[in-house]
Amino acid sequence: MGQPSGSQLIVMARWPAPGRCKRRLAGSLGAAAAARIQARLTSHTLAVARGLSSPQGVELVLAVDGVAPRAARRWGATLGADRCLLQGPGSLGLRMQRQFVRAAREGAERMVMIGSDLPQLEASDLAAAFGALNSRLAVLGPARDGGYWLVGLRQPDPWLMGGIAWGTALVLEQTLAAMAQRGLEPVMLSCRGDLDRVGDLRLWR
């Protein structure tokens, strides 16, 4: 188990069990196939994250939803995470904010959060995010669906996670507006796509 670090990479993941993940994809491919894709995506994300975390001293934290603590810890160990925690209850914004607050309390000064369904993710994306936080207070990776695939902060701010229409094309717009109100001008990374629908499978390598 890793020790708390001055930099944390938090991967938000859902347990890849049929009926518990990728519901929109499951509507087209079936629950079992969607769960297999979720498992592959999570493995890919953690493999990329491990490539960044070791040389740069970044602690890799897997935050899991949809499974009990013991199974989550076993899964995290299998994937090579330094630690595996539960996301806890509540909306996506509340669960994200909870992880940022926890990381800050542990002494993290650079906190980057991503999801686990990013087929185009590369270690250079993550390195760029942490590099941006050396001089700026926030960083965002815009997504093609109007959301974002990465958010990085120097300190948690509940105003950035509340009042967001999660799961809609307004997420990025609303988040940028909330950041502007808080005096934050985020570094913007390259646009990426996640994998939620059958048409998105072309992104998978």
The three-class DSSP label of residue 149 is: strand
Domain residues of the chain, as ranges? 7-199
pTM listed for this prediction: 0.89
Domain topology for 7-199: Spore Coat Polysaccharide Biosynthesis Protein SpsA; Chain A (3.90.550)
Distances (CA, A) of 186 to 123, 134, 140, 161, 201: 20, 12, 6, 15, 30
Band the pLDDT of 4: cuts 50, 70, 90: very low
The three-class DSSP label of residue 21 is: coil
Q: Please, what is the end-to-end C-alpha distance for the chain in angstroms?
A: 31
- Span 92-110, pLDDT tens digits: 999 999 999 999 999 999 9
Report phi then psi at 90, rounded to 5.
110, 180
- Span 59-89, pLDDT tens digits: 999 999 988 999 999 999 999 999 999 999 9
CB 141 within 8 A of CB 192: yes
